[in-house]
Amino acid sequence: MSAGYQAEYKAKLCAPAEAVRFARSGSNISMGMALGEPPALLAALNEKIEAGNLTDIRLWYFHSMPAAAQTLLRYDMMDHVHPHCMFMGPTERALAERGEKEGRKVLNFVPVAFSDAPRLLSQHLQLDTFITTVSPMDKHGYFSFGTNNDYASTAARSARHTVVEVNKHMPRVFGDSMIHVSEIDAIIENHEPLFEAPAREASAEERQIGELIADLVPDGACLQMGIGALPNEVCGHLKGRTDLGIHTELLSPGMVDLIDCGAVTNRRKNTFPGRTVFTFALGNKRMYDLLDDNPSINSHPVNIVNDPRHIAKNDGVISINATLQVDLFGACNSENLAGRQYSGSGGQLDFVRGARASKGGKSIIACTSTAKQGAVSRIVPELTGPVTTPRNDVDTVITEFGVAQLIGLSGEERARAMIALAHPDHRADLEAAARKAQII
């Protein structure tokens, strides 16, 4: 390691309390998302607030984790911290629910496509401080953003001050994932094991959906999918495929299984041939170990990975996304539940459009036909929340009852196809609603 870089590292290395000295009251602060969330820096900010030395901060982020829930996103911090969340999870839903019960608005949800987050954070507001977790510095003076490139690589360079938490467990990842010690204002070290997402066993309905999706994935396809039981179920059916590629927003354990077994080679990709591409990763230690120092796996900023124009450069893109509701024309609400914001739009529409524009590509939207043990139909006459993916963009919808390819269908044909995907207990009501609306 260069003596000069090592000296600069040591000069910037400090205790967490000193590292957060840049954070100012009344300013915009952003934190790394998911595994990029820096636990020790968040704890230091929390202590600074509790000591009365910091207040009225606007916290910008996607996808919070337990460290934030235990510090800045505690309900008793809401007089000092104003969350500006771009993707809601359990912590944000609990905050919003408690605030509503007490007649307070404590959370600000910011609608934005994941791909537009870097521009929002760098051009539409002035970030005072950005904090995130990175891998250890290499001999050339570079840290890696590891599992979380997403908006971090942009925010780190647009904020007035960037503070990093070095964690030896954070993998060193190739691609456009590096930041130099000269670009950083303060460094702390905190070597906590990375969070591992708990695995959930697929339901009988999800197993059926997984088989139906897998049947639509040919050899040589370029995959995008999310995390959870259904994507892992799909991946389990694809281990016999050849020359698959990966260009995905989220890299998950199921995809790593496909890399391990040789089904993924990335040979047929037109962009980054031979390399798996992602913008953030969340899974288990086995996956994190595979990412570390692996030149066949690259991460890039989300405005590149999720750009539909860039996605479409690859042939045979198969995009697989989940939704909460689908109306009779195929429009999808994937973020709002029972009239309340549940998650966010993420990158769904970007990948739907990118896959549709890909030569030989296909966008698949999947959901079980019902929720609440069958009491609620996910196929509905009208959406009860925002349109995440418009009907004009929806290609193929799948439930455990079958596959509906909607491109080129009339309104009536779409409605009949969607009713056929619904649970039999709800089909009569859906047909009656369609007739009343003169759709059929």
> Using one digit for the tens of pLDDT, what is the confidence trace for 109-136?
999 999 999 999 999 999 999 999 999 9
| Mean pLDDT value across residues 143-152 | 98
Let me know whether 171 and 225 are in one domain: no
pLDDT recorded at residue 4: 85
Round the average pLDDT of the chain to a whole number and report it: 96
Domain finish residue from 189, 216, 251: 189
Retrieve residue 266's tokens.
């990335």
Q: 402 to each of 267, 316, 331, 405, 429, how far by Cα in Å?
A: 32, 22, 17, 10, 19
Cβ neighbors of 41 (< 8 A, separation 6 or more) are: 16, 19, 20, 31, 131, 163, 165, 188
| Mean pLDDT value across residues 77-105 | 96
| Mean pLDDT value across residues 278-294 | 96
pLDDT at 94 over 70: yes
Cα dihedral 372, 375, 376, 378, rounded to 10, equals 80
pLDDT recorded at residue 153: 96
Whether 239 and 275 have beta carbons less than 8 Å apart is answered as: no
Let me know whether 222 and 271 are in one domain: yes
SS3 call for 301: coil
- What amino acid occupies position 187? I
The fraction of the chain above a pLDDT of 70, given in percent, is 100
Report which listed range, 72-76, 200-204, 337-341, is most confident. Answer: 72-76
Please indicate, yes or no, if residue 232 is contained in any of the structural domains. yes
Let me know whether 66 and 209 are in one domain: no
Let me know whether 172 and 262 are in one domain: no
Let me know whether 429 and 368 are in one domain: yes
Let me know whether 31 and 163 are in one domain: yes
Domain count across the chain: 2
Task: Write out the residue range of the structural domain in which residue 337 sits.
Answer: 204-436
| Mean pLDDT value across residues 96-103 | 96
Let me know whether 257 and 329 are in one domain: yes
1-15, 289-303, 304-318: range with lowest mean pLDDT: 1-15
Query: What are the pLDDT digits (tens) for 149-180?
Result: 999 999 999 999 999 999 999 999 999 999 99
Let me know whether 422 and 304 are in one domain: yes
Please indicate, yes or no, if residue 363 is contained in any of the structural domains. yes
CATH of the domain at 296: 3.40.1080.20
Let me know whether 24 and 163 are in one domain: yes
Q: Is the pTM of this model over 0.85?
A: yes
Let me know whether 284 and 171 are in one domain: no
Backbone CA torsion sign across 26, 303, 321, 278:
negative
Q: Which of 8, 92, 249, 335 is catalytic?
A: 249
Residue 330 CA to residue 233 CA, distance in Å, equals 24
pLDDT at 3 over 90: no
Please indicate, yes or no, if residue 76 is contained in any of the structural domains. yes
Is 18 designated active site?
Answer: no
Question: Mind giving me the DSSP string for 53-121?
Answer: S--SEEEEESS--HHHHTTTTSGGGTTTEEEEESS--HHHHHHHHHHHHTT----EE----GGGHHHHH
Please indicate, yes or no, if residue 199 is contained in any of the structural domains. no
Let me know whether 135 and 210 are in one domain: no
Please indicate, yes or no, if residue 313 is contained in any of the structural domains. yes
pLDDT recorded at residue 338: 87
pLDDT recorded at residue 226: 81
pLDDT recorded at residue 199: 84
SS3 call for 327: strand
Domain finish residue from 189, 216, 245: 189
Please indicate, yes or no, if residue 195 is contained in any of the structural domains. no
| Mean pLDDT value across residues 72-94 | 97
CATH of the domain at 110: 3.40.1080.10
pLDDT at 91 over 70: yes
Let me know whether 160 and 232 are in one domain: no
The fraction of the chain above a pLDDT of 90, given in percent, is 96
Please indicate, yes or no, if residue 373 is contained in any of the structural domains. yes
Please indicate, yes or no, if residue 194 is contained in any of the structural domains. no
pLDDT recorded at residue 193: 97
pLDDT recorded at residue 58: 98
pLDDT recorded at residue 1: 59
Domain finish residue from 189, 214, 245: 189
